[in-house]
Amino acid sequence: IDAGGSQDDSSKWEIRVNTKGYSRIFIMDEDMPHVESEDDLTPELRGRALSTLSSSFKEIHRDFKSTRKNSADDVLKALQSGDLKPISGPDGPLAELEGLLDYLLDYVLTQNTLSGMTSLKNQDTALYDHSIDVCVIAIMIAKELRLSSGQLLQLAKGCLLHDLGLIFLQDEPDNEKRIRQHTRLGFELLKTSVEGDILVPCVAYEHHEHQDGTGLPRGLKGSNIIFRNRSQKGPVMTLVGEIAAVANAFDNLTSGVRGATPLPPDEAMTQIKAMAGTILNEEVVSAFRRVTPVYPVGTQVLLRGQPYDGFLGVVMSVTPSRLSKPRVILARDAHRNKVPPEEIETAEHPKLKLKIMGL
């Protein structure tokens, strides 16, 4: 339901939701089976991550208050000169982030798969929620690719900070310019502030680069493989940058950015598959698909194909080895009449196809 509807008496509740910073809500059908959806983080851990990241960003925001009044080019020159205050160190705004990273890694690495759904984002905290979700998705991809503990830590830190350059930008209407500027600014700020973590700045710099060289800000080309092609002419994209690009793209698709309509996970997955090879690293996308269910637990789905053509159901569970073939509990037939709850394994019905109808 779009919360930006008309302002008559029947839609006052929609206006109240909109003023809270949400653009849409989901209504649960009381006649449908209630299956609790899953989250990639516990509410406590997500709350801690949100609080820590928000505090860090706001402190950096205050420290660079005077600089933000300058143009993006002037800020870039100041960052490259090394004259600006570093943000790392025991007393810096990123100090609390180190402890958070350990908790995030310890928790996420115990999971077998992602939930398949990213968090509902409030306008006031969207940047932080997005950074957390990108971090979680990237960690799971990296786990599947067996990255070293050192690479995992730098990837996770880079993802939490991949959009840090946005603190220097006001409302920039030109999306290409906005991408070009925030990636370069984030890279320069992290390069001068995060000593020893050489991969962290690369995540900020490369998460909008494309395999075919059409990305921003440098137009780097990828090789669509996990192992780096060192014989390639020019700068070589880092693996952590390519992992972050996949995580960033999926979360943007399911969240909706800059006015775009959020996509359900199955449609977002279809788009991610279509981007593989040209925009996103093909082998990284393959790893992502091995850890992400197409139909997350708790989603309402429409079944197409015999013997349940037109039925509605709810996803009950997902098996890691069959992420596109969940267990579903049936609720309504093709005429929308209630049916006795019946659990089916969609993997046992090859002709069945699913489409998400609600979260």
SS3 assignment for 239-263: HHHHHHHHHHHHHHHHHCCCCCCCC
DSSP label of 78: H
Residues of the chain above pLDDT 90, percent = 64
Residue 180 has pLDDT above 90, yes or no: yes
pLDDT at 291 over 70: yes
| Residues β-bridged to residue 314 | 300, 329
Residue 182 has pLDDT above 60, yes or no: yes
Quote the CA–CA distance of 15 and 8 in Å, as a whole number. Answer: 10
State mean pLDDT over 42-48: 94
User: Mean of the pLDDT values across residues 106-113?
Assistant: 95
If you average pLDDT over every residue of the chain, what do you get? 87
The answer for 50, left when phi > 0, alpha when psi is -120 to 50, beta otherwise, is: alpha
Cβ pair 202, 178 in contact under 8 A: no
Q: How many CB atoms lie within 10 A of CB 317?
A: 14
Local confidence band at 17 (pLDDT 50, 70, 90 cut-offs): low
Cα R_g (the chain), whole angstroms: 22
What's this model's pTM, rounded to 2 decimal places?
A: 0.90
Q: Cβ(216)–Cβ(176) under 8 Å?
A: yes
State the pLDDT at residue 10. Answer: 44
CA atoms 304, 299, 40, 249: torsion sign? positive
Distance CA 173, CA 242 (A): 26
Rounded Cα distance, 29 and 357, in Å: 12
- H or E element in which residue 357 lies: strand 353-358
Say what angle helices 126-144 and 95-108 make with each other, to 10 degrees: 50
pLDDT, position 7: 46
What is the C-alpha to C-alpha distance for residues 72 and 80, in angstroms, rounded to an integer? 12
Buried-exposed string 85-122: b where 16+ CB fall within 10 A, e elsewhere: eebbeeebbbebbeebbeebbebbeebebbbbbbbebe
pLDDT reported for residue 23: 53
- Rounded to 10°, the helix 126-144/282-291 angle is 100
Residue for token digits 């637990």? 297
Which residue's entry shows tokens 């996420």? Answer: 108
Structure tokens at 291: 């850890």
Assess whether pLDDT exceeds 60 at residue 21: no
Weakest mean pLDDT among 38-42, 157-161, 215-219? 38-42
**Pairing between β-strand 338-345 and β-strand 353-358 as defined by DSSP bridges:** unpaired
- pLDDT score recorded for residue 71: 85
Query: Looking at residue 2, what is its pLDDT?
Result: 45
Residue 312: predicted pLDDT: 96
